[in-house]
Structure 1
Amino acid sequence: MTGARRKTMTHNHPARSRAQLTCSAVRVQRGETVVLDGVDLTVSPGSRWAIVGENGRGKSTLLQVLAGLLTSDEGRVQRIGSLALATQEMPDQDERTVGDVIDGHLAAARAALRELDDATAELADGVPGSDEKYSAALDLVQILDAWDADRRVDVALEGLGAQTDRTRPLATLSVGQRYRVRLAVLLSAGDDFLLLDEPTNHLDLSALEFLTSRLRAYPGAVVIVSHDRALLSDVADTLLDLDPTRDGLPRVYGGGYAGYREGRAAERDRWEHEYAQQQSEQTRLAQDLSEAQNRLVSGWRPEKGTGKHARATRAGSLARAVHRRQDELDRHRITAPTPPQRFTMPELPAAPGVTLVRTDQVQVDGRLTDPVDLSLDSGDRLVITGDNGTGKSTLLAVLAGTLEPTAGQLHRARKARIHLLQQESRHPLHRRARDVYAAHTARLVTAGLLRADEVLGLSALGLLSSREQNKPVGDLSMGQQRRLDLACALAARPHALLLDEPTNHLSITLVDELTEALGATRAAVVIATHDRQLRRDVRTWPTLTLAAAVTTRSVPRS
C-alpha cells in the first residue's frame, strides 16, 4: 500500500457517528531504539488532532500504526470506519493518470450510485424486496454524498492549484503536482478519518488557505503531522506532543495550539524546577557525607588522657553517621532526566543613531528586478515578503555585502557588523559541529570583527547538546544543521541580523523562543519569510513586498 492510495480499514464504507480510532499503550521499537512508547490516543468523529515533536520522534511512524500499515510491538489499536492516509513520500513510478487516481478514490461513491440505479429499476419493475434494497442503496449514497463527489474533487483540484486534466499521466507531473492531486482527492472522498503527514508541503499561500478551510469543514476526524504553526493554530483542537518529558511519556494538550504552547511551557518549567531541586539536594547530601568522612578521619580523636573505650565509642558513632549519610545520598539519587536545553539569545549590540545600511535604487540583473530604496538603522525591524523569484534572498545577500548590485548604490556603516542566516547550510560535512563553530569564531576574531572576550561558547546558546556538538555536520539532521547555522550567525554579535526563512527545519519550541528573542534584541532584524505564523507574530513590523515588475518601493522607517 503506497501513500498515494486510500487505505480503508474495518468497514468499506464510512461509519460516521459510530466511527472509532483509538490506540492505547502503543510501543514501537527498532533494534535498541524506542521510537514510540506509551502512546494513548482517542480520535472521535469531528475532532481535529495534531501530532507534534522534533524530527525523529516517531510522528510518521504513529500515523502508519493508526492506519494499520505498521503493527506496534506493544499496545492495541482499534479502527471502526473508513480511513485515508497521505504520507510525505510519493512513488516515482506510477503509470496511472490523474483520472485513474480520482476514480480509485471515488470507487465507493461510483459503486453506490450504480447500486441505487439498479435498485431504482427493480423498484419500478415491482421486483419483490426491491423497496428494502432501494432504501439501503439510497442511505449509502447519502452517507457517501456520492452525487456531489466529482464536483468536490474538481473544486479541490482548483483550490490546491493541482492538475485538472484527468487524462494527464502522473509520470509527467512534478512531485509537488502529484502531491496536490492526491491531497485533493483525499479531501473529497469523505472518509471517517483523514490522516495527513506534513500536508502543507508543496503548497503556495492560496492553496494553504484552501487546505485550512477544507480541514476545518471536513465532515470526519482529522489527524495531521505538521511543523506548520499557522495550520496547527487554525485547525487543531488537541495536540499530542511526542517530545521528551519528565517521565518519558507523550503529553496531550487541549485548547488548540495556544493550549499546547501554554501547557508545554508549564510542563518544562516543572521539569526544570524538579531537576534543579534534586540537584541541589544531591549537592547538599554529598557535602554532608564529605564532612562526615572528614570527621571520621581526624575529628573523632579525643584529647590525651581519654580512655580507649571512649575513643572506640566515638569512632563507631562517627562511622555510623557516615553510613547514614551515604544511605541518604543513595536514596536521593536524581531521578528527573536532564531537561531539554532552552535557547539563550546573546546580548547583541546597538549603535544608536547609526544607519547601518542604505540602498538607493538597488537592482541585480535577472534576480532583483524591482529597484529597492531602504534605510536600516540600529534597532530597526523589517519583514521582506513576495512570491518566489522576486528577489528576497538576493536582496538579503546585497544587504549583507556578499553580493554586489548591478545597478544602484549600496552604503554600509564602516564598523557595522551585518550577518546573514542563509536558507542552506554550507559547512564542511566531515568536520565536527564544535570545530566548525570554533573555526568560525576564530575567523571573526582574526578579521577584527569580534574581540576574543566577546566569543560565546557553543553550549551557552542552548542550540546543540554536547553529543550533537561532537558529531560531524553530515551526521546532523537538517534541524540540527540549521541550529548550527543560527549559532554561527549569533556568534558574530551582529548589529544587524538578516534571516532568510529562519523557521525552516526548526522545532516549534525553538521557533517560539527565537521569535520572542528577535522582538526583544537591540540589534536591527530583517526577516524574509513565507511562514504564515511568523508573519502573524511580527505583523506590527514594517513590511517590504517585492514584486516581479520594475517599480520603485521605499521602506517605512520603524
Structure 2
Amino acid sequence: MNAFSLPARDRAQLTCADVRVDRGGRTVLRHVDMKVSPRSRWGVVGENGRGKSTLLHVLAGVLAPDEGSVQRVGTLALAEQEMPAEDDRTVGDVIDEHLADARAALHCLDTAAAALAEELPGAEREYADALEAAQALDAWDADRRVDVALAGLGAVDDRTRRLATLSVGQRYRIRLACLLGAEYDFLLLDEPTNHLDLEGLDYLTARLRAHPGGVVVVSHDRALLSDVATTVLDLDPTSDGRPRVYGGGFAGYREGREAELLRWEAEYEEQQSEHARLQQSLSEAQNRLSTGWRPPKGTGRHQRATRAPALVRSVHRRQEDLEQHRITAPVPPRRFTPPELPARPGVVLLHAEEVTVAGRLHRPTSLSLTSGDRLAVTGPNGAGKSTLLSVLAGRLVPTTGRARHARKVRLQLLGQESPHTTRRRANDVYQAHTARLVTTGVLRDSEVTALSSLGLLGSRDADKPVAELSMGQQRRLDLALALAARPHLLLLDEPTNHLSIALVDELTDALKATDAAVVLATHDRQMQRDIRAWPRLELPLPGPREESLAG
C-alpha cells in the first residue's frame, strides 16, 4: 500500500449538502450547498463574521458540520488567514511537508527499481505501480514548481532560513507557493491576496485561472474575484435565510445580489403596508366594540344582545389576522458612518526630510502634508512602505533625516495586522481607548463617538471578547480605534485587508471626502484604480549598492 495520496485529477469532487454549523449558541452557517469540480473556481463572499472561514474548515475536514454532509474525492490543501506566531521550522521544512507525497513516490520508485534490478518476485508490478504514481504526481518536477511559485510571489527561497526570522507576509507567501507547487486537486484559500504586491497578485491570478483542479477562494479582493471566480457563493442574509449561488462570476454576483435586495425590500414594504392596514382594521373594530354597538335610546334589548357578539367576533378575527401576518424584515447591511475628521488650515501637519531606515527604507524620502492632502504610497514588497508609515507616525526613529509633526497634531496609524488578542470585550476596549483620549486631553467629551454609531460592529459582536472575533471583525475594531481620536492625519497600511467588499467601497468614499490628510499604502488593485487621481509616492526596491551598504 502506498504511504502517500494520489491526486484524482478529472475524477476529483468536493461537495457539501445542506451544511449547518453552530458555534457559541449561534448558527453561523445553514443550508449551504456546493459542488466544486475540476477547473471550477468558486468565490465565497459575505460580511465579516458570516462563516466564510468556517465553511473552508468544513470543506477541508477540519471541522465537522452539525448537520449536512461533505464528500471529498481527491487531494486538497487549506491556506488559512492566520499564521503561527512561533514556528521553528525552516523554509525547506515547509516545502518538504507539502511535497511529502512526491518525495514518497520517488522513494518508492527508487526502491522498486532496486528490486527490479535484483529480479525479485513481483518487482515488475511494483515498479510499474510506483512509476504510475510518480507520473500522476509529476514528482520529478515538484521542486521546480515550488521554486517558480516562490519567485512569482516574491517569497524567500533560501531553504535554510527559519520561519521565525521572517515577517508574517513572507511566511504566508512561502506557504502559498508550496500549495501552488504541490498541485493539489483542490485549493481552499482564505484571503490569499493579503501580503502580496502587484507582481505577486498578477502571478497568483494567472496560476488560479490555470489551475487544473478546483479552487474555493474566500476573498474581499474585488479585482481577484473579478479575474478568477466563475461562480460566487454569497453568505449574506437573504429573504428566506438560504445562501445564494450566482453564476456569471463576480459581475453576475453583483447584479444578482442587487436584484435580490430590491425584491426583498419591495416585499418588505408590501408587508409593512398590509400590517398597517390590519392594525387599522383592528383599531376600528375595537372602537366599534366599545362605542359603536350601543344602539340609540329605546332600541330593544334583543337587538343590543345580537349585535355585541358579532362585533366581538370581528375584533377577535382581526386580532388573529394581525398575529398571523408576519413581517420578514430585510436585514439592512451596516453602513459605515465615519466621524467628521477635522482640518487645520494653513498648518503643515507633518514634514519628513530625507528619511531612511537602515535595511528597510533605502532611498531618502521627503514629503510634507497639510489638511486635505492625499498621498498613495506604492511599491513592491520590501520597498519600505510600512517602514515609511511607521516613521511618519513617530513609531520608528529614522537612521537618517527627520520627521516633524505640528504641535498638537492628532495622527493615527492603522497597521497591517491587528495587535489584539485580549479576552476583553470589543466594546470595553473601545470605551477604555476613548476614555484615555479624554483623560489625556486629546478629545473633549462632546467629541467622543460611540462604537455603535460607526456601523462597524453590531451589538452582538461588540459584546464578544476580541479574541473571539473574526480577523475581519478585529480589523473593523482597529479602524474604529483609529478614527476615535478624530485624527488630522490618517496613515493607512493595507486598510482593505480582511474587510468586506461593501465596507471597502464605503471606506474609499469616506477617504475621498474627509477634510483630514490621508496617506495610504495599498496593493489592492481595485482601490488603486479608485484613487488613481491621488498623488503617488513610488518606493523602489534597493539596488545592489544599497543592499551591500545595508548588509
The TM-score normalised by the length of structure 1 is: 0.74
Kept after mapping to 1: 8 A contact 2:356/2:364: no
Q: Distance in 2 between matches of 1:128 and 1:434?
A: 70
1:55-454 to 2 correspondences below 5 Å: 55-87=48-80, 88-90=82-84, 92=87, 94=89, 97=93, 100-101=96-97, 103-107=99-103, 110=106, 114=110, 141-166=134-159, 177-336=170-329, 338-344=331-337, 357=348, 362=353, 370-374=364-368, 376=370, 381-386=374-379, 387-388=383-384, 392-394=388-390, 397=393, 420=412, 422-423=414-415, 433=427, 440=434
**Which amino acid in 2 is paired with 1:84?**
A
Q: Which residue of 2 aligns with 1:402?
A: none
Q: Quick one: structure 1 residues 181 and 470, their matched pair in 2 at CA, closer, same or farther if it must change by over 3 Å?
A: closer
The worse-fitting range, judged by mean Cα deviation, of 72-81 and 522-531 is: 522-531
Runs of at least 5 residues in structure 1 that lack an aligned partner in the other structure: 1-6, 399-404, 550-558
How far did 1:421 drift? 6.2
Q: Which residue of 2 aligns with 1:556?
A: none
Q: Distance in 1 between matches of 2:175 and 2:375?
A: 37
How far did 1:211 drift? 2.5
Q: Distance in 1 between matches of 2:429 and 2:306?
A: 59
Q: Quick one: structure 1 residues 293 and 437, their matched pair in 2 at CA, closer, same or farther if it must change by over 3 Å?
A: farther
Q: Quick one: structure 1 residues 128 and 143, their matched pair in 2 at CA, closer, same or farther if it must change by over 3 Å?
A: closer
From 439, 445, 455, give the equivalent of 1:462. 455
Q: Distance in 1 between matches of 2:366 and 2:56?
A: 46
How far did 1:45 drift? 1.0
How far did 1:23 drift? 1.5
How far did 1:325 drift? 1.5
Q: Quick one: structure 1 residues 117 and 172, their matched pair in 2 at CA, closer, same or farther if it must change by over 3 Å?
A: farther
1:530 corresponds to 2:522: yes
**Which amino acid in 2 is paired with 1:107?**
R
How far did 1:43 drift? 0.9
Kept after mapping to 1: 8 A contact 2:146/2:177: yes
How far did 1:241 drift? 2.2
1:51 corresponds to 2:44: yes
Q: Distance in 1 between matches of 2:259 and 2:279?
A: 30
How far did 1:332 drift? 1.0
**Which amino acid in 2 is paired with 1:252?**
V
Q: Distance in 2 between matches of 1:169 and 1:343?
A: 41
Q: Quick one: structure 1 residues 301 and 99, their matched pair in 2 at CA, closer, same or farther if it must change by over 3 Å?
A: closer
Q: Distance in 1 between matches of 2:235 and 2:295?
A: 61
Kept after mapping to 1: 8 A contact 2:378/2:539: yes
Q: Quick one: structure 1 residues 513 and 99, their matched pair in 2 at CA, closer, same or farther if it must change by over 3 Å?
A: closer
Q: Distance in 2 between matches of 1:327 and 1:537?
A: 53
Q: Quick one: structure 1 residues 456 and 377, their matched pair in 2 at CA, closer, same or farther if it must change by over 3 Å?
A: closer
Q: Distance in 2 between matches of 1:518 and 1:466?
A: 25
1:421-461 CA distance string (max 9 Å, x none): 634689x98687399579959989x9898996x99776555
Q: Distance in 2 between matches of 1:34 and 1:505?
A: 22
Q: Distance in 1 between matches of 2:123 and 2:425?
A: 77
1:435-493 CA distance string (max 9 Å, x none): 9579959989x9898996x9977655533334445667787655445545655777888
Kept after mapping to 2: 8 A contact 1:390/1:546: no
1:151-175 CA distance string (max 9 Å, x none): 2122223333444344556677666
Identity %: 58
How far did 1:255 drift? 2.6
Q: Distance in 2 between matches of 1:23 and 1:280?
A: 40
Q: Quick one: structure 1 residues 458 and 266, their matched pair in 2 at CA, closer, same or farther if it must change by over 3 Å?
A: farther
**Which amino acid in 1 is paired with 2:150?**
L
How far did 1:251 drift? 1.8
Q: Distance in 2 between matches of 1:115 and 1:144?
A: 17
Q: Quick one: structure 1 residues 190 and 115, their matched pair in 2 at CA, closer, same or farther if it must change by over 3 Å?
A: farther
How far did 1:137 drift? 6.8
- SS of equivalent to 2:220: coil
Q: Distance in 2 between matches of 1:205 and 1:236?
A: 19
The TM-score normalised by the length of structure 2 is: 0.75
How far did 1:289 drift? 1.7
- SS of equivalent to 2:28: strand
- SS of equivalent to 1:433: helix
- SS of equivalent to 2:18: strand
Kept after mapping to 1: 8 A contact 2:237/2:331: no
Q: Distance in 2 between matches of 1:226 and 1:478?
A: 12
**Which amino acid in 2 is paired with 1:532?**
D
Q: Quick one: structure 1 residues 543 and 435, their matched pair in 2 at CA, closer, same or farther if it must change by over 3 Å?
A: same
